[in-house]
Structure 1
Amino acid sequence: MELEIDTPRWALPLLQPARYKGVWGGRASGKSHVMAENLVEAMVMDADLRAVCIREVQKSLKFSAKQLVEDKIKAMGVGHLFDVQAVEIKRKGGAGVCIFQGMQDHTADSIKSLEGFRIAWIEEAQALSDKSLRLLRPTMRAPGAEIWASWNPDQPDDAIDKFLRGQKPPEGAIVLRANWQDNPWLPDEIKAEIAHDWAGDPETYAHVWLGEYNTRSEAQIFAGRYKVDEFEPGDDWDGPYFGADWGFAQDPTILVKCWVMPDGRVAVEKESGKVGLDIDKTGDLWGQDIPEAQRATIRADSARPETISYMQRHGWKGITGVDKWKGSVEDGVEWLRTKGLLIHPRCQRAQREARLYRYKVNKAGDVLAQIEDAENHIWDAVRYALAPLIRARSQPETKTTTVVGMY
């Protein structure tokens, strides 16, 4: 039997055999639809295939993928090959079956009932516990057995993320990312929802629609204090200001161009840089991304005078080491928080660091006054660029009082 299935380009690698197949990303990407279609296709091609659709907790079939699988069976025109029952879907003409279960209902003994199954699809896999994953993996031991996972990431220490997106994923695993931009059939209603979050709530947009980790917490330094939107600097904007932060082997070397808007907000217009950028390549990259900076004053981290000297000798004469003072980091961060931020959509690193820059949290979950020295390269560069304005605000001029006495 031949099936014609419209498959988005990103999903083509999933058609190859692999022990582990994972798809992660934001909502409205079509991940679950692709997995359900692939499952139905596999059962059509093999009448004896046994498959299980798994969630960590499944109190009712209405919270399972059963309805989606049923919908795909109808849409693909293969209903005559299946017997859709109340709690499972059987394949006519063979011993094939698709069942729907919650992993929390299983023990080390009960999980053995799945030993003959050849496909296990974990839906909402971000909720799967480490214990459940350790129970499932050795149970899927039939020749050619595959474990599929689809999920919207929540935290980097979730079991499925550590397993399939960690430093050492299983050899041969197919792990793909899919977001709303990859869905060619996205309805206009969802596009409107996405546009709303993109403009008004960057944290929600990144987590829900792009599959970024959920970072919303009281520890976020710029939570609720920045917006991502396109802009053109006006004649009444103060600037531009340029700032640079020097990187190392694992940190980016950064150049930013920013402005102060009439309402006081700081607008980040352009960014340039990358991790592992050699000093002799820095000028070329900056000149390509922000050519106007080469003729301007650039305030840079003064901790690297040899780098500043090199750049000055190679055509970037306006670079100067920024004056620092005790508490300059804290003063700068508070100044930026008070002013608020507008980030141009092309500044991808600025958007990421605006979400992830945070205060330290102790083991009890208390947010501390100390700032984590991470995800801060853009904001260090912005602080350097605007250092004179920040210092003028945070270090008021000392007044001298003359006392007239009698001698």
Structure 2
Amino acid sequence: MTAIEKEVNPHFEDFLFDWKQKFQFLVGGYGSSKSYHVALKLILKLLEEKRTALVVREVYDTHRDSTFSLLEEIVTDLGLDHKIKCVTSPMQLRFPNGSKIIFKGMDKPAKLKSIHNVSIIWIEECSEVKYEGFKELLGRLRHPTLKLHMILSTNPVGEDNWTFLHFFKDDRNKRLILDDQELYEKRTIVTNDTYYHHSTADDNLFLPESYIEQLEEMKSYDPDLHRIARKGRFGVNGKRVLPQFEEWAHKDVMRAISAIRKPIKRVGMDFGFEDSYNAIVRLAIDHNKKILYIYWQYYKNQMTDDRTADDLEEFKQSRELIYADSAEPKTIQYFKQRGFKIKGAKKFSGSRLANTKKVKRFKKIICSSECPDVVRELKYLTYKEDKNGRIIPDEFKIDPHTFSAIWYGLDDYEVSDLKGNALRTMNKSRLGL
């Protein structure tokens, strides 16, 4: 093969020629040049070996102005346009040794069935592809003799996205593959059969300074986008509902509860069956310090009332009062007949917003590590937004069943807020008390 000279960004030099691992996961901010170097890596590999590579995006039509255009630009820049043919219909790159790059979209899954002997797959903006699509593509990655590779590139998104859950950590299923903070510090890491690579605009020496300045300006008007675009880091997309939420080791939570002089104990229950869940939480309140502790959970779906009652036998023995969703009076009556101490929590017009505000008034919300579904739903819970980008104060991006259970558990309990305390103090001062 003719020697090719090409100036590249130093942070990507090792990546270009590293094909040891099956998976290569690249995450980074805007303008970091990760997509450019993936495209260059593919071209160099297919010039060297006869292979078929598949490039995938969620929507097929987006290839033309992104991946296909980028690959075509690199071919021309390398002076290889007389050897590598860039065909527009259907989009393909054809190499002199028989290698080829083909393009597919997950919006047309039937087209995937026609591909064979694909030994390399590049999923560009992989966070936009559904998890089921990723697993489908794994099944399409096969060749009788060649080593298989999958390259995934993306800007970071929320920590609830499948890319984070699969390649970093999934609290619900207690899977920790790699701490993303470690990747941000080390920049490249290999673990198991995956090569991780993190990049930002600072790694692209060909960017104008004005572009980086624009990214920095985002910090003043959109901190979330600044985290994604400038720092290239996963996180919470949107405004968090409970920024004071913390996860503690279970023993530390129980030690803190035991130190409360007169803890207020509550139990809340939300009903669910098919897509929603029966969610029950045990709560302890430090009224003076305005701290809410969550130290026990029950979280199951597709459970009939009799099976749930059997699971919760301990509540009959303890005689704990359960505050439950009053929208299910028949279910509440059934549990009463089974010997449970249970009552419906009050619901009224605007109760969702009132209950959300009540929980937000706690100075701290501390959850046991033994309540993984509470952590999963509430740690990164964010508000829904309207079409103008304004938050909807009583709607969230997921349906948090454990949050509803907390609402019901706090029925008839009031958290005094700072404004109320200030008003009382002011009134006392005026009275000379």
- State the TM-score bracket (shorter-chain normalisation): 0.5 to 0.7
CA contact (8 A) 1:362 1:368 kept: no
> Which structure 2 residues correspond to residues 1-400 of structure 1 after superposition, within 5 A?
1-14=2-15, 15-17=17-19, 18-46=21-49, 48-59=50-61, 61-86=63-88, 87-107=90-110, 111-142=112-143, 143-166=146-169, 167-168=176-177, 171-213=192-234, 215-220=236-241, 325-327=288-290, 364=399, 393=422, 396=425, 399=428
Q: CA deviation at 1:391?
A: 10
Correspondence for 2:270: none
Deviations 1:201-252 (A, max 9, x none): 3222112322334634354467xxxxxxxxxxxxxxxxxxxxxxx997799x
Root-mean-square deviation (Å): 4.3
Inter-partner Cα distance in structure 1 for 2:213 and 2:157: 23
Inter-partner Cα distance in structure 1 for 2:109 and 2:26: 25
Q: CA deviation at 1:184?
A: 1.7
Give 3-state SS (helix, strand or coil) of 2:25's partner: strand
Deviations 1:119-173 (A, max 9, x none): 2111011011111111111221222121111001223233333332232377221
Q: 1:303 to 1:77 in 2, by over 3 A?
A: farther
Q: 1:126 to 1:358 in 2, by over 3 A?
A: closer
Using the aligned pairs only, state the percent identity. 18
Correspondence for 1:225: none
Inter-partner Cα distance in structure 2 for 1:325 and 1:250: 22
CA contact (8 A) 1:32 1:123 kept: yes
Give 3-state SS (helix, strand or coil) of 1:4's partner: coil
Q: CA deviation at 1:190?
A: 1.2
Deviations 1:239-297 (A, max 9, x none): xxxxxxx997799xxxxxxxxxxxxxxxxxxxxxxxxxxxxxxxxxxxxxxxxxxxxxx
Inter-partner Cα distance in structure 1 for 2:153 and 2:118: 19
Q: 1:324 to 1:121 in 2, by over 3 A?
A: same
Give 3-state SS (helix, strand or coil) of 2:425's partner: coil
CA contact (8 A) 2:57 2:123 kept: yes
Q: CA deviation at 1:30?
A: 0.8
Letter in 1 for 2:70: L
Give 3-state SS (helix, strand or coil) of 1:85's partner: strand
Q: CA deviation at 1:189?
A: 3.0
Inter-partner Cα distance in structure 2 for 1:20 and 1:56: 19
Give 3-state SS (helix, strand or coil) of 2:11's partner: helix
Q: 1:49 to 1:357 in 2, by over 3 A?
A: closer
Q: 1:358 to 1:112 in 2, by over 3 A?
A: closer
Correspondence for 1:237: none
TM-score normalised to the size of structure 1?
Answer: 0.56
Correspondence for 1:277: none
CA contact (8 A) 2:238 2:382 kept: no
Q: 1:209 to 1:50 in 2, by over 3 A?
A: same
Q: CA deviation at 1:392?
A: 7.3
Inter-partner Cα distance in structure 1 for 2:12 and 2:423: 53
Letter in 2 for 1:130: Y
Correspondence for 2:187: none
Unaligned runs of 5+ in 1: 223-245, 252-300, 306-322, 337-354, 373-388, 403-407
CA contact (8 A) 2:381 2:398 kept: no
Inter-partner Cα distance in structure 2 for 1:366 and 1:203: 26
Q: 1:13 to 1:115 in 2, by over 3 A?
A: farther
Inter-partner Cα distance in structure 2 for 1:184 and 1:128: 30
Letter in 2 for 1:56: E
Q: 1:214 to 1:302 in 2, by over 3 A?
A: closer
